[in-house]
Structure 1
């Protein structure tokens, strides 16, 4: 058992979590599961949440500060970051398009979705979180029977005051300036922003600003700062690594607890996994669209002599490795070899563009976050508005910059995106059973995007030896 790869252990944990969920619901042990097993899942979420903010902060600063020679690489750096930003935004928009058309969360039985909604409203009331769509199922007589079965009491006076204040804030927001959203991205006190997970956009803004200033200052002046940033970033990456070593047990506890709260009978558990099948198909279709339609089309526009077949032949070794490792960083040496030897991109371009891509370009992860967040909202009968979905676009785009190029990094970023639209971060456990195989698919999209951007940059800089 000790010699098994971590991802195999996680899969085993997932399987045991599902098996336990069926046994627990069949034997009526859900109360035991919730009281004695689920808390370990809560610990897992807490560990990931406290790592998320510093990981994003130092990853972004470290990535941007890598653009040290502005006089030589300024133009290429601008093109690189600009193209990565564009492809990431496109990926999120494609994800939102697919999930809003397919509506995979609607495949679950309506009664189960109503139950999910009531549980969500109870959680929101207990945590002082405003309901994203402003609806109140708990107060609706139509759902009183279901609410009574869940033993959900009316909101306390404190919770009622909190909801009233949230509604007041929402009304005042309608009258605010159209640029108020941008204003709120700029922190007043970065320490307060770091201490509040809801202010992640302010942390990202600070990190970008800090990284740009490091680039503008003399290299010898900021070298100690950059070394410190890179070193502490490694510390937090190691924290993620250590947490993930214990993840098989945590995943078992988290999945068993979440399902126990959602399903009282084996039939209800089965309904949950039917919904996951629709979600997986929707996500895979979106990822396939990126790999087999979007990237080849972009390449064809900029590099006309590179055929569709040659494009995939040139980068297929890196794609297969990315699928097996689920890590852009682990695949980076092979990606560079494919781009230099097969695609004809010069080493000057590949050695600059691809490492940045492994840090800031997470198209597959961003698309996954968009699909997963809306799917989870649909699963709980939460209607996200256009503005809230645009918040997903912005948060997923910016958060992907700080996503580590390692397996499970998307899990940390998913928590941030869920929180940005007022959803329960513990919902990440719902998609755990199918996340590993989907993570492999997402990584293929990530490195294909890196290869596409580096080829386009090389073409624009006259550094493409083939297909000219």
Structure 2
């Protein structure tokens, strides 16, 4: 008797696009809706304040994007504190931890120096300050400034939470977190736990558990990124359009040219020098880079950066958990190197001031040493004003550039995060601890996501 076995057909299950594709779709929709919102014009002018009332679509886009950024800001303080304390504790399992730390900082400085040199060269060649239609009427000093005194005094925590109060201007008081102070507190606590030894184990257990909970919450927020992309980019297009870009076209071109040279020239060259595939690096780091472009937050992107660095690029967990959080708060090739270098030259050219060789050396010094001043969720205004004040240039020049800052910040943050993944990869390769099999492996669908990780925990480094 013949028997036939009929294979049971599995029902076809609809698969949503990967996270990267979702973000790309969000980018396209954001530009389209932003252009539509801009074509709709404003709803009118507020009779009391004289400010333009945005139309309903612009307001909706602003609310969607702003809510995402607010959610990121909410988890930044506990995330930074817990991640730094846990990462310092992890270093005790690493042989040669001090050497790894110093080499990581050295490569942070090397790549920052290369980036700032590119920024200076582009500023001198393209001369953005001499090729702009923006007028001096737009010049105004920023509300947030940076100086070496502010930077140094800002290192001293006012309280254990890094909490600062400010006047809203309407009689009420608001609060914000100083990420740099949180970094100092967390480093001190992390070192103290190492010194205390066994007695600190219950505390470290709590820190690791709390970090896992905070990261889980952050993963939920990150899943909203494709929707937030529509709001953030759409609002930028609707609010600024091409008018502001047109008046600062050469400056915008110079900044993005510098970013492109670093991410598509310098980083690939460093990878090839160390025998690493450029394609594998960028395909592995892409989820973090794309999220950084959307969110404009190195710290908010930190869990994704750490995940791709470990799971896609093969950097050991015990080292990645230290290098990535440190880089997310201090490693800023876009915000702290390229941008302030070109901006300082722009301001000097706009006001007809000559810069000496010493001034260019100061720009490089500030970019390499003072990048920790940019620690925060978004923006590079503090770093820019720190550079201008060091050179003695008019701080009013910052006001000339604020109109297009959100558009520039997307590219700057993407480069920041690419560098934050690159340096641990290079250091791990040089130290012989990089998992080359993981680095060269085909990229699975969303292989970076923590809920799809099936690998065994990475062993402690020998």
TM-score by length of 1: 0.60
Shift of 1:191: 4.3
Count of residue correspondences:
361
Larger RCO, structure (CA 8 Å, separation 6 or more): 1
Which residue is equivalent to 1:312?
276
Deviation at 1:227, TM superposition (A): 1.7
C-alpha deviation, 1:334, in angstroms: 2.8
Structure 2 SS opposite 1:372: helix
Q: 1:64 to 1:390 in 2, by over 3 A?
A: farther
Distance in 1 between residues matched to 2:133 and 2:183, nearest whole Å: 37
Q: Work out whether 1:97 is the aligned partner of 2:75.
A: no
Per the alignment, do residues 236 and 353 of structure 1 end up closer, same or farther by CA in structure 2, a change over 3 Å counting? same
- The CA distance in 2 between the partners of 1:220 and 1:60, in whole Å, is 17
Task: Show the counterpart of 2:156.
Answer: 186
Aligned counterparts of 1:335 and 1:197: Cα–Cα separation in 2: 35
Q: Residue 339 of structure 2 aligns with which residue?
A: 372
2: distance between equivalents of 1:274 and 1:251? 21
Do residues 84 (structure 1) and 104 (structure 2) align? yes
Q: Is 1:5 the equivalent of 2:22? A: yes
Higher helix share: 1
SS in 2 for 1:187: coil
> Deviation at 1:83?
1.9
1:396 aligned to 2:413?
Answer: no
1:35 maps to which of 49, 53, 66: 53
Matches for 1:21-170 after TM superposition, within 5 Å? 21=38, 23=39, 34-37=52-55, 44=65, 48=69, 51-52=72-73, 54-55=75-76, 58-68=79-89, 72-73=93-94, 75-103=95-123, 106-107=127-128, 110=131, 112-114=133-135, 118-121=137-140, 124=142, 127=143, 129=144
Do structure 1's residue 204 and structure 2's residue 207 form an aligned pair? no
Give yes or no for contact 2:126–2:250 (8 Å, CA) kept in 1.
Answer: no
Task: Quote the residue 1:253 is aligned against.
Answer: 235
Change in 2 beyond 3 A, CA 1:19/1:419: farther
1:352-408 Cα offsets, whole Å, 9 max, x none, are 2244444434699611112234445666758997778755545534767x8xxxxxx
Contact kept, 8 Å, 2:100 with 2:427, in 1: the verdict is: yes
Corresponding position of 1:304:
none
Change (3 A) 1:375 1:53: farther
Name the structure 1 match of 2:208. 226
Three-state SS of the structure 2 residue aligned to 1:431 is helix
Contact 1:190–1:206 under 8 Å retained in 2: yes
Measured after TM superposition, the shift of residue 228 of structure 1 is 1.8
Q: 1:203 to 1:67 in 2, by over 3 A?
A: closer
Offset from partner CA, 1:220-267 (integer Å, 9 cap, x none) = 32112332244235434544554663331232123321348xx3xxxx
d(CA) in 2 for partners of 1:57, 1:451: 26
1:334 & 1:47 partners in 2: Cα distance? 26
What corresponds to 1:430 in structure 2? 407
Q: Is the 8 A contact 1:41 1:257 kept in 2?
A: no
Q: What SS is found at the alignment partner of 1:92?
A: helix
Q: CA deviation at 1:86?
A: 1.9
Contact 2:90 2:318 in 1 (8 A): no
Tell me, in whole angstroms, the C-alpha distance in 2 between the residues paired with 1:182 and 1:258. Answer: 35
CA distance in 2, matches of 1:248, 1:444: 22
Does the C-alpha gap of structure 1 residues 285 and 92 become closer, same or farther in structure 2, counting only changes over 3 Å?
Answer: same
Deviation at 1:62, TM superposition (A): 1.5
Q: CA deviation at 1:9?
A: 1.0
Deviations 1:273-319 (A, max 9, x none): 5543332222222334532445666x5xxxxxxxxxxx034x74243
Change (3 A) 1:192 1:333: closer
Q: Matched residues in 1 for 2:59 and 2:367: separation?
A: 29
**Within 1, Cα distance between the matches of 2:326 and 2:77?**
11
Root-mean-square deviation (Å): 4.7
Give how far 1:5 is off. Answer: 0.7
Change in Cα spacing, 1:69 to 1:197, as seen in structure 2 (3 Å) is closer
Match of 1:335 among 305, 309, 313: 313
Q: Matches of 1:229 and 1:392 in 2, distance apart?
A: 31
Counterparts in 2 of 1:269 and 1:284: CA distance versus 1, 3 Å: closer
1:391–1:325 distance in 2 versus 1, CA, 3 Å: closer
Contact 2:160 2:182 in 1 (8 A): yes
Q: Give the match for residue 459 of structure 2.
A: none
CA distance, structure 2, for counterparts of residue 58 and residue 71 of structure 1:
21
Deviation, 1:66, is 3.2
C-alpha separation in 1, matches of 2:238 and 2:127 = 23
Structure 2 residue corresponding to 1:235, chosen from 194, 212, 217: 217
Once the two structures are TM-superposed, the CA of residue 185 in structure 1 deviates from its matched residue by 1.2
